[in-house]
Amino acid sequence: MKTSAAKAEWLLPAGLIGLSFFPVLAGAFRLFQLGGGAGITPENARFFATPLPFVLHLISVTIYCVLGAFQFAPGFRRRRPEWHRLAGRVVVPCGLVAALTGLWMTQYYPRPLYDGTLLYAMRLGVGVAMVLCLGLGMSAIGRRDIPAHRPWMMRGYALGLGAGTQVLTHLPWFLFPSIRGELTRAVLMGAGWAINLAWVEWLLLRERSQVQRRARTAARQTTTSQTGGTPCSAKT
Ligand code: HEM
């Protein structure tokens, strides 16, 4: 029983690492290209021309996605709070570097084929939102306000992991080349961020309604015991 609960606690981090797998692999491939394993082509020339933001981006997103996943194992967090704090001190700066380098590349790299103005605007919005979520999460923990810290960190991580969900939303892109275009690309990228955010908001909403239901049940039980076993509503 205990073993299955312990296993279940690792399901979420394992799923998050699984979702990060392809962007992390793509990042490793790009780093290998930059390290001298590939020639310069029109497709990768921008990364060779100004490699620093790209390299910082790839290293920070890898640490953010992989180490960040462990922050979402509740039992582990309770048993090893010092690990959560230490990992947080690495994960949050990595998230900020990921978002800021992403913003820099959005602004200054020449746009690849199919990356249009709508996607440009979305990237600006997501990058700024990620910085804000992480900033608000850190400010909440500075006040020891854990109920506010958690949702902001969940949102910040969900936005970052949009890169993983985008691999899945892009399946039609790879399967049906005829749909390729700037609008389709923006919709598929946007869907990755939107799905992750919607999932987090749904989890938070479900948690809130569970807490409210438990509070109502507890209040009803208190009233029942104070009135000698007869619920108030049953009294005449
Ligand atoms: C932590 C989450 C993130 C992950 C895992 C991630 C992953 C990646 C990867 C693997 C690449 C290389 C893509 C390629 O091989 O062409 C990349 C590039 C890029 N990322 Fe991110 N990224 C993340 C966050 C962001 C954010 C928040 C933004 C926007 C503000 C952003 C903007 C960009 C841009 C503009 C590029 C270069 C695209 C190009 O010119 O082809 N990324 N990212």
Residue whose CA is at the smallest distance from ligand 1 atom 7: 23
Cα 199 to Cα 206: distance, rounded to the nearest angstrom: 11
Question: Given this model, what pLDDT does residue 55 score?
Answer: 98
| Percent with pLDDT over 70 in the chain | 94
Question: Given this model, what pLDDT does residue 230 score?
Answer: 53
C-alpha dist (Å) from residue 22 to 9, 35, 104? 23, 20, 23
Give the predicted TM-score (pTM) of the model: 0.91
Q: Please, is 150 exposed, middle or buried when counting C-beta atoms within 10 Å of its C-beta (0-12, 13-18, 19+)?
A: middle
Residue whose CA is at the smallest distance from ligand 1 atom 11: 27
Question: Given this model, what pLDDT does residue 228 score?
Answer: 67
Question: Ligand 1 within 6 A of 109 CB?
Answer: yes
**Which of 30, 61, 109 to mutate for ligand 1's pocket (most ligand atoms within 8 Å of CB)?**
61
Write down the domain spans for the chain. 9-208
CA of 103 relative to ligand 1 center, distance in Å: 9
* Radius of gyration of the chain, Cα coordinates, nearest whole angstrom: 22
Question: Given this model, what pLDDT does residue 2 score?
Answer: 55
Question: Given this model, what pLDDT does residue 235 score?
Answer: 40
Residue listed under structure tokens 């807490």? 211
Do 156 and 142 meet the contact criterion of CB atoms below 8 Å apart? no
Question: Given this model, what pLDDT does residue 222 score?
Answer: 86
Question: Ligand 1 within 6 A of 92 CB?
Answer: no
Cα 58 to Cα 115: distance, rounded to the nearest angstrom: 19
Question: Given this model, what pLDDT does residue 206 score?
Answer: 97
* 228 DSSP 8-state letter: T
Q: Looking at ligand 1, which atom is closest to the CA of residue 124?
A: 30
Residues in the chain predicted with pLDDT less than 70, given as ranges, are: 1-3, 228-236
**How long a stretch of residues is the chain?**
236
Residue listed under structure tokens 């609008």? 183
